Amino acid sequence: MSGDVMVLVEHGDGSLADVTFELLGKARQLASAWGGKVHAALLGSAVLADQLGGADVVHVVEHATLADYLAEAYERALAYLLGDVAPRLLLIGTSTPGMDLAASLAQYWDAPVVAYVIALEAAGDELVATAQIYGGKLLAEVAVDRDRVVCSVIGGSFHADAGKAAGAPAEIRMVEVGGLDDLRSKFHARRLPEADGIDITAADMLVSVGRGIAGKDNLELVQELADTLGVPLSASRPVIDQGWLPKPQQVGKSGQKVKPRAYLAFGISGAPEHLEGMRNAELIVACNTDSSAPIFDVAHYGTTVDLFDLVPALSEQLGS
Ligand code: FAD
């Protein structure tokens, strides 16, 4: 059985996504245990190949249909590379493309798929994957002894630094894939939601608010604190779903992944889907009246004070 591991490179707007480096680091660890190589599949952006020194071989497919993300084109190119390289494991991020591709490629490749993975280890010849089920409320440990498997990994599960290497990869292969001129779907346009100029992913600090705020009018309170600190306001999904704040300010699985130096969470319970977007913040401070709220499992500091008492007091103290 091959010991090679292939990683789908995720990129956008001319830069590589952090999850790519996380996967390359883990791929190196597994490939070393199995005596194999690390392969990176880079679709549509050859200029990024030099930055993938964490891989032994970078397979580049360039084609007009790969210039933007198009599931059918990605699927065709990856299916070709899987046949060509025959790795033992394909690693994909649990992102929008990853969720599109993991199951369909597994079906094409006749391989099992393990989704929502947060840990991966080699145990002899076996691969042991820990995966979230029921939205992260339970963890499943899955041992796979097949000669091929697809895993989609939740971003933030591994250290990105482990996959960053100085210098270019040992080998860059330009690969021709047939059939890309003959697709049934076509990329039209990418439409991003209006962000009012707020980019919560770039913030050093976030004031974040959840359903505990209890009404749109009360947002003024947390907005005032955010303004006092000079930082953006972010929110959990219920706040966004009710239309109280715009979608680009949502943190979590179906929102933005943020990594600020400080994340101040007010009235947020800490559901797995929310934690997925913010658990890598350097410092997490939580305010929740329920001492058993799961947000306290990840918070460095916490208080069970009522947010309606704490937030105005903080704004007053910090503003004076
Ligand atoms: P709640 O869980 O209702 O928590 C409110 C908290 O406020 C409670 O813990 C309560 O004790 C506290 N509170 C109440 N009053 C006060 C007060 N006066 N002072 C202090 N604390 C108070 N969620 C996200 O956030 N982001 C996502 O991207 C996301 N994606 C999802 C994707 C999927 C596929 C699914 C199924 C769910 C997703 N969710 C997401 C929803 C998620 O499961 C939770 O429902 C959501 O995170 C809960 O938001 P919350 O913590 O604001 O609300």
Note the pLDDT tens digit of each residue in 16-74.
998 999 999 999 999 999 999 999 999 999 999 999 999 999 999 999 999 999 999 99
Structure tokens at 161: 């630094």
Alpha-carbon distance values, 295 to 127, 232, 239 (Å): 31, 20, 17
Residue from 86, 72, 69, 91 nearest 188 by CA:
69
Candidate of 209, 250, 253, 307 to mutate for ligand 1, largest count of ligand atoms within 8 Å of Cβ: 253
Structure tokens at 154: 């939740």
pLDDT value, residue 88:
97
CA–CA distance, 127 with 213 (Å, rounded to integer): 44
Q: Which amino acid is at 89?
A: L
Pairing of strands 113-123, 89-93: unpaired
Atom of ligand 1 lying closest to residue 236 CA: 25
Q: Is residue 317 scored above 70 in pLDDT?
A: yes
Structure tokens at 267: 């009235």
CA–CA distance, 75 with 62 (Å, rounded to integer): 14
Candidate of 94, 221, 237 to mutate for ligand 1, largest count of ligand atoms within 8 Å of Cβ: 237
Residue nearest to atom 45 of ligand 1 (CA): 271
Residues 6+ apart with CB under 8 A from 247: 193, 240, 255
pLDDT value, residue 18:
87
Q: Kindly state if the Cβ of 12 falls inside 6 Å of ligand 1.
A: no
State in Å: Cα 271 to ligand 1 middle. 6
Note the pLDDT tens digit of each residue in 133-186.
987 778 999 999 999 999 999 988 899 999 999 889 999 999 999 999 999 999
Residue from 200, 153, 171, 138 nearest 38 by CA:
171
Q: Kindly state if the Cβ of 256 falls inside 6 Å of ligand 1.
A: no
pLDDT value, residue 1:
87
Candidate of 254, 295, 311 to mutate for ligand 1, largest count of ligand atoms within 8 Å of Cβ: 254
Candidate of 95, 274, 305, 310 to mutate for ligand 1, largest count of ligand atoms within 8 Å of Cβ: 274
Structure tokens at 133: 């089920």
CA–CA distance, 145 with 25 (Å, rounded to integer): 22
Residue nearest to atom 26 of ligand 1 (CA): 252
State in Å: Cα 305 to ligand 1 middle. 18
State in Å: Cα 208 to ligand 1 middle. 11
Class of residue 79 by CB neighbours under 10 A (exposed 0-12, middle 13-18, buried 19+): middle
Q: Kindly state if the Cβ of 252 falls inside 6 Å of ligand 1.
A: yes
Per-residue confidence band for 316, with pLDDT thresholds at 50, 70 and 90: very high
Give Cα 220 to chain centroid, integer Å: 31
- Assign 307 to helix, strand or coil: helix
Residue nearest to atom 37 of ligand 1 (CA): 273
Residue from 221, 214, 217 nearest 236 by CA:
214
pTM: 0.80
